Structure 1
Amino acid sequence: MQIKKTGMAGTMESSDINVVVEKNQEKGIKIYLKSSVEKQFGNQIRKAILKTLKELEVTDVVVRAIDRGALDCTIRARVQSAVMRAAMKENEIDWGLF
């Protein structure tokens, strides 16, 4: 899936994550993470973000995430929403994929 514009999903509330995705002018995936639980769960949060991007077939993207203790299901939902908005395909999500 191709990123066409900046997309955002999530809030700064407790147990949520704010995710902003934008096209990477270079090649590859870059993830910038700030989290209140980064020492304990930073690697798991990055894995959840990366797995979701791969499932959506996103290759060249910059992800900026500010986490407030979100569960994996919330992380995945926020990444999916931000990507779909950035790809301008908000109404085309295949719910069976997830």
Structure 2
Amino acid sequence: MEITQSAVAGTVESSDIMVTVEPIQEKEIQISLESSVEKQFGKQIRQVIEDTMKHLGVQAVRVTAVDKGALDCTIQARTITAVHRAAKKDTYDWKEIGSWNA
């Protein structure tokens, strides 16, 4: 999936994460994370975001995530939503998305 514009999903409320995605020229996934639990879970948060991007076929993106203790499923959902908004996609294949964790 190609990111064509910047987009945001989520909030900075407790137990949520705000994910902002922007297109970049380089074919890489850049992740900037600010989290109150970064020491304990920063590596896992980054991994969930990166894995989600790879499953969606995103190759050139800058991700800025502001985490307030979100669970993995919330991180994944916010990332998927931000990517779909940034790619101007109106539909989701939730059956396929749900099979990632199976």
Q: How many matched pairs? A: 97
Gaps of 5+ in 2: 98-102
Give the letter aligned to residue 52 of structure 1: T
Measure the CA separation in 2 of the matches of 1:96 and 1:54: 17
* Secondary structure of the structure 1 residue equivalent to 2:25: coil
Is there any run of 5+ residues in structure 1 with no aligned partner, and where?
none
Identical aligned residues as a percent:
58
1:41-60 equivalence runs, <5 A: 41-60=41-60
Give the alignment's Cα RMSD to 1 decimal.
Answer: 0.6
TM-score (norm 2): 0.93
Q: Distance in 2 between matches of 1:77 and 1:12?
A: 15
Listed one character per residue, the Cα deviations across residues 52-85 of structure 1 (whole Å, up to 9, x for unaligned) are 1011010000000000000000000000000000
Q: Which has the higher helix share?
A: 2
The answer for the alignment partner of 1:84 in structure 2 is 84
Write the distance in 2 (CA, Å) between the matches of 1:29 and 1:47.
Answer: 11
